[in-house]
Amino acid sequence: MTHDATVPPAPTGAALRRGPLRVGERVQLTDPRGRLHTITLQPGGTFHTHKGWFRHEELIDQPEGVVVRTSSGIEYLALRPLLSDYVLSMPRGAAVVYPKDAGQIVTMADIYPGATVVEAGVGSGALTLSLLRAVGDGGRVHSVERRDDFAAVARGNVEAFFGGQHPAWRLHTGDLADVLPTIAEPGTVDRVVLDMLAPWENLDAVAHALAPGGVLIGYVATATQLSRLAEDVRTDGRYTEPQAWESMVRGWHLEGLAVRPQHRMIGHTGFLLTTRRLADGVVAPERRRRPAKGSYPVAGDGAPVVEDDAWTPEALGERAVSDKKVRRVRRDLGVADDA
């Protein structure tokens, strides 16, 4: 089953991120200690803390960057949230792709304005936002999600951020191998992003869709997934030698002479692997390497072989998302249960 979540284009882009603050927009409030609060402006709405309250009307139709005071005199700076702020505060069912990884994906996959991009494994729509920003109104992002409830959450988050349905976005539900041939002719996709448990299962479908030179980038959580994906890419024969890495972010404390690394950092969130589509019929030059004995186990040689049905969220240490939580997130986004 394929579900197209778009309707005729609605206004998007810079105009929705400029001008006065509007009803229905999310606003990020920063208190004197740097703590953040995110609210959605509503007629008659109020913001309450243990240090006072104020009415939403005090912000509606005001420019960004204004300061509002609570009933007890506490000042809050009001700004529209940046994309990175929105991703970390938006309602979610599945875990989100962190901004540090989304930035790496957009850059290392060379996602550009006007590109045709396919992403599989939409989750809560965090990466979708970065992809749509990168391709612009003239590009095309096909997002494929297996679960209807996750797709509904992603649609709610994307439309809330852009203020409506983005003209470049198409949302589909189903398995990538089934959906991809129906949405893209062979050799017409520029970039593919796979964020799923077993991305190697879709290498054949992706190879048919990607244009020669097109980029495939995989996002996986564990080293076992990374190893399996790399070896299957090599075995397939239609891709270049894969490259893999991870990124870690450490913030700095800046106050007077106390300039030092923060005690906490964003460490491992996932591994990224990139490879490119070869031209049809081309055999890449053999990579010269001397693998250690047993590095490439083959069934029957005595080495353990991981079966396909062993790749489950629980086996990879992922926390299961309950149906109750997804229903609550959908209610928060105003998405009907039958969406």
pLDDT of residue 103: 95
pLDDT of residue 3: 46
C-alpha distances (whole Å) from 133 to each of 43, 81, 89, 152, 318 are: 29, 15, 18, 20, 29
- Residue 239 makes CB contacts below 8 A (sequence gap 6+) with 203, 207, 216, 233, 275, 276, 277, 278
pLDDT of residue 245: 95
Domain boundaries, the chain: 22-79, 85-281+321-333
Helix, strand, coil percentages in the chain from 3-state DSSP, rounded to 5: 30, 25, 45
- The topology (CATH level 3) of 85-281+321-333 is Rossmann fold (3.40.50)
Contact assessment for residue 139 and residue 116, using Cβ atoms and an 8 Å cutoff: yes
The one-letter code for the residue type at 152 is: A
First to last CA, the chain: 14
Q: Are strands 52-55 and 46-49 parallel, antiparallel or unpaired?
A: antiparallel
Q: What CATH code is assigned to 22-79?
A: 3.10.330.20
Task: State the pTM of this model.
Answer: 0.78
- 3-state DSSP assignment of residue 333: helix
Structure tokens at 275: 């490879």
Please give the chain's pLDDT, 339 residues, in tens: 444 444 334 344 445 567 899 998 889 999 998 888 989 899 999 999 888 999 999 999 999 999 999 999 999 999 999 999 888 888 887 788 989 999 999 999 999 999 999 999 998 999 999 999 999 999 999 999 999 999 999 999 999 888 889 999 999 999 999 999 999 999 999 999 999 999 999 999 999 999 999 999 999 999 999 999 999 999 999 999 999 999 999 999 999 999 999 998 888 899 999 999 999 999 888 776 655 555 555 555 444 456 666 667 766 666 777 778 788 888 878 777 664
Residue 235 and residue 243: Cα distance in Å, rounded? 15
pLDDT of residue 283: 87
